[in-house]
């Protein structure tokens, strides 16, 4: 019992270091800018009535929203706190899974802990733009830990636990878990584990029932139609990670190397794995490799509408994950039997991948030296067989990588932005529409939307929905083409925008702000002038008028045979210049079937 408690405390400490130190965690940095407003509106339908993104929930094919809403109601915590709490717990599940996998190969508990530590350093899957350890509390980051735990249960032939964990993974993010679930189901049927097979099959069945009882989405994507040229151009610009031809030529060498290294590590330790685990490791690695040409064929040649939602190219995640897992365990086994050079070479893989961020070129120079020193230290500590040395070597990796500046996400939060959001929440009406005039592709508007609980007319991050909502894609493109760059303040007024936000450096000399702080300035477009006490809130009456464009849109919506499901229709956009689609590409973590994940 004492050993179990010691192991539990060691894994809890490892989870805490992973969460707080490296690779860390974030909120409202990427996809949660989409999820949290959607959850807020599901919880309180009076919010975001004029926000085109938040009105289109795309979580109906997951239990991500149901779990979040339930925990919110039970705990009375904010969605940020609820999601981050889940993130911590599920990361602990992943660490426990790796620990159990390593134990199953015959390693001592402290050595299995070291393997869990190395895998917990994470890595970026370059090209598809996903992560081994997700920093944000998003569906993929919730699903993968349960896949890892399921693999651990397979190694012990605990079939019911393996099936239950895989079912949970599927319920959080079907694209991540689907390939694994199918492979596991075949394995269970092959072993005549019919009870576990039934548990595994219950996940999709329950999800179908849940979908049938939910309200239909206002936007329906024709899954089996083809992507037209307009949507293709838009997706290539806004969601380049789906189009493998845009990144494969640059990064194919990386995945060839990772595949070779993973296979060599597997050859060294395959005898420690059960037959079933070996089958799953090889099957998922092969699926990961084949997903790239499959994605190219189905999306870039056949132009199938469903592919950007399923995103098969992101199964490269399994190639990277298994390479890191296998090389970590192989390195420890090599060190334990005295093969020092082999241990160092294998240790270089998980440490090097954690240090690359999104560009292997960053390994040149100081980082490569630090990675080598860490690999030497890990190999030496394993060779010495001293638990305290092994623990120090494992912990040192987290602090050393953080110390040399390895960070896969930028610092975007600020007190000034939070104060701006707090002012808007307290002093503007729920149906107020804001626009950030000069933020362009920055993430500040999305943070504001979630914390102020106020609508945005358009922002860059919400454009990730072009993966699966075609009607929204057209609307977003038109709005972004018009307001992606700063315009004259009268342009915002004519579009029915209530408040326009500028950076303080772009303060408008002919306008009187209704609120300002050191970084942001807000103008109330509903009236010609306002008064302000610097840095304090100002009186903000509810919207009493509609601009001409919005009024025209509402009249048009009411005159149609099938009225809009929303009482507020989008303003007419024919006042804008003709749309011009940019060829700029970006990386942005992602989605599955209609209303499944985020962009």
pLDDT at position 552 = 36
Mean pLDDT of 1-11: 89
**What's the mean per-residue pLDDT of the chain?**
87
Handedness of CA 323, 325, 328, 329 (dihedral sign): negative
Buried b / exposed e over 194-219, threshold 16 CB at 10 Å, is eebbebbeebeeebeeeeeeeeebeb
Distance of CA 377 to the CA centre of its chain: 33
**CB of 285 within 8 A of CB of 319?**
yes
- The larger pLDDT score, comparing residue 88 to residue 577, is at 88
CB–CB of 508/489 below 8 Å? yes
Count of positions (residues) in the chain? 599
Q: What is the band of 471 on the pLDDT scale with cuts at 50, 70, 90?
A: confident
Residue 268 pLDDT exceeds 80: yes
Domain boundaries, the chain: 2-30+61-215+240-403, 415-558
- The confidence band for 517, taking pLDDT boundaries of 50, 70 and 90, is very high
Q: What is the pLDDT of residue 468?
A: 76
Q: In what helix (H) or strand (E) does residue 367 lie, and over which residues does it extend?
A: helix 366-384
Q: Which region, left, alpha or beta, applies to residue 338 given φ > 0 means left and ψ of -120 to 50 means alpha?
A: left
Residue 223 has what pLDDT? 63
pLDDT average, residue stretch 458-476: 91
Does residue 573 register a pLDDT over 50? no
DSSP state of 99: H
Between CA 258 and CA 264 the distance in angstroms is 10
Q: Which helix (H) or strand (E) holds 130?
A: strand 130-131
What is the CA angle 15-174-475, rounded to 5? 105
| DSSP letter (8 states) at residue 595 | T
Question: 147 or 223: which carries more pLDDT confidence?
Answer: 147
Residue 470 pLDDT grade (very low, low, confident, very high; cuts 50, 70, 90): confident
pLDDT reading at 541 higher than 50? no
Residue 309: its H or E element: helix 307-310
Contact 224, 212 (CB under 8 A): no
Measured CA to CA, the distance from residue 184 to residue 496 in angstroms comes to: 53
Q: What pLDDT was estimated at residue 123? A: 96
What is the dihedral angle through the alpha carbons of 183, 188, 190, 194, rounded to the nearest 10 degrees?
-140
- Asked if 476 and 469 count as a contact pair (C-beta separation under 8 A), the reply is no
Give me the pLDDT at residue 102, please: 98
- pLDDT tens, position by position, 223-267: 678 899 999 999 999 999 999 999 999 999 999 999 999 999 999
Asked if 39 and 598 count as a contact pair (C-beta separation under 8 A), the reply is no
CA angle 20, 355, 463 (to 5 degrees): 75
Q: What is the DSSP string of 231-295?
A: HHHHHHHH-GGG-GGGTHHHHHHHHHHHHHHHHHHHHHHGGGS-HHHHHHHHHHHHHHHHHHHHH
Longest dimension (CA), the chain: 80
pLDDT of residue 456: 98
What sign for the dihedral angle of Cα 5, 11, 15, 16? positive
Task: Tell me the C-alpha distance between 505 and 514, whole Å.
Answer: 16
Q: In 495-595, where do the E strands start and end? A: 499-503, 515-516, 520-524
* Cβ count within 10 A of residue 94: 25
549: closest CA among 502, 501, 482? 482
The CA distance from 359 to 361, in Å, is: 5
Please report which helix (H) or strand (E) contains residue 110, including its range: helix 109-120
Q: What is the DSSP string of 279-305?
A: HHHHHHHHHHHHHHHHHIIIIIIT-BT
pLDDT exceeds cutoff 60 at 590: no
Helix, strand, coil distribution of the chain in percent, nearest 5: 60, 5, 35
If we measure between CA atoms, which residue out of 455, 407, 399, 461 comes closest to residue 431? 455
Taking Cα atoms as reference points, which of 232, 443, 240, 262 lies closest to residue 349? Answer: 262
Q: CA-to-CA distance for 139 and 172, rounded, in angstroms?
A: 5
Q: What is the pLDDT of residue 538?
A: 40
- Of 274-278, 353-357, 379-383, 407-411, where does mean pLDDT reach its minimum? 407-411
**pLDDT tens readout for residues 315-372:** 999 999 999 999 999 999 999 999 999 999 999 999 999 999 899 998 988 999 999 9
* Dist CA 138 CA 169 (whole Å): 12
Residue 128, CA atoms < 13 Å, CB-side half-sphere: 30
Q: How far is CA 461 from the centre of its chain?
A: 12
């Amino acid at each position: 019992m004492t050993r179990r408690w010691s192991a539990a405390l060691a894994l809890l400490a490892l989870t805490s270091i992973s969460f707080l130190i490296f690779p860390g965690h974030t909120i409202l940095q990427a996809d949660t800018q989409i999820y949290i407003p959607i959850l807020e509106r599901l919880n309180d339908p009076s919010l975001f009535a004029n926000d085109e993104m938040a009105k289109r929930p795309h979580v109906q094919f997951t239990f991500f929203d149901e779990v979040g809403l339930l925990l919110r109601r039970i705990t009375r915590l904010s969605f940020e706190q609820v999601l981050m709490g889940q993130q911590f717990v599920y990361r602990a599940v992943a660490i426990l899974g790796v620990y159990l996998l390593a134990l199953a190969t015959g390693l001592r508990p402290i050595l299995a802990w070291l393997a869990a530590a190395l895998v917990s350093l994470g890595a970026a899957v370059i090209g598809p733009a996903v992560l081994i350890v997700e920093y944000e509390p998003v569906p993929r980051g919730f699903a993968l830990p349960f896949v890892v735990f399921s693999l651990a249960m397979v190694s012990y032939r605990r079939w019911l636990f393996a099936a239950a964990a895989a079912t949970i993974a599927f319920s959080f993010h079907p694209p991540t878990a689907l390939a694994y679930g199918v492979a596991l189901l075949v394995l269970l049927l092959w072993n005549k584990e019919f009870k576990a097979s039934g548990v595994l099959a219950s996940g999709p069945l329950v999800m179908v029932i849940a979908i049938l009882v939910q309200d239909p989405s206002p936007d329906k994507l024709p899954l089996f139609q083809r992507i037209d040229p307009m949507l293709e151009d838009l997706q290539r610009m806004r969601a380049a990670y789906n189009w493998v031809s845009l990144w494969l030529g640059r990064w194919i060498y990386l995945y060839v190397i990772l595949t070779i290294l993973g296979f060599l590590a597997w050859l060294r330790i395959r005898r420690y794995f059960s037959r079933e685990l070996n089958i799953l490791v090889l099957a998922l690695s092969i699926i990961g490799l084949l997903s790239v040409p499959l994605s190219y064929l189905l999306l870039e040649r056949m132009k199938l509408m469903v592919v950007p939602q399923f995103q098969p190219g992101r199964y490269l995640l399994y190639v990277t994950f298994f390479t890191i897992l296998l090389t970590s365990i192989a390195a420890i086994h090599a060190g334990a039997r005295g093969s020092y050079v082999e241990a160092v070479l294998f240790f270089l893989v998980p440490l090097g991948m954690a240090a690359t961020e999104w560009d292997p070129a960053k390994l040149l120079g100081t980082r490569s030296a630090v990675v080598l020193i860490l690999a030497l230290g890990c190999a030496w500590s394993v060779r010495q067989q001293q638990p305290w040395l092994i623990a120090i070597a494992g912990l040192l990796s987290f602090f050393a990588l953080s110390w040399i500046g390895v960070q896969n996400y930028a610092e975007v939060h600020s007190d000034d932005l939070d104060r701006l959001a707090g002012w808007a929440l307290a002093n503007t009406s729920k149906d107020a529409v804001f626009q950030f005039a000069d933020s362009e592709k920055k993430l500040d508007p999305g943070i504001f939307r979630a914390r102020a609980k106020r609508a945005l007319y358009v922002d860059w991050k919400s454009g990730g929905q072009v993966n699966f909502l075609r009607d929204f894609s057209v609307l977003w493109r038109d709005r972004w083409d018009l307001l992606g760059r700063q315009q004259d303040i009268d342009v915002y007024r004519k579009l029915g925008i209530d408040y326009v936000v500028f950076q303080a450096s772009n303060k408008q000399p002919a306008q009187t702000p209704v609120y300002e702080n050191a970084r942001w300035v807000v103008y109330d477009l509903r009236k010609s002038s306002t008064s302000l006490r610097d840095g304090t809130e100002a009186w903000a009456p509810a919207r009493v008028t509609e601009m001409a464009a919005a009024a025209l849109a509402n009249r048009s919506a009411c005159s149609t045979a099938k009225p809009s499901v929303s009482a507020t229709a989008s303003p007419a956009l024919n006042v804008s210049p003709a749309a011009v689609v940019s060829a700029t590409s970006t990386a942005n973590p992602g989605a599955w079937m209609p209303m499944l994940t985020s962009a």
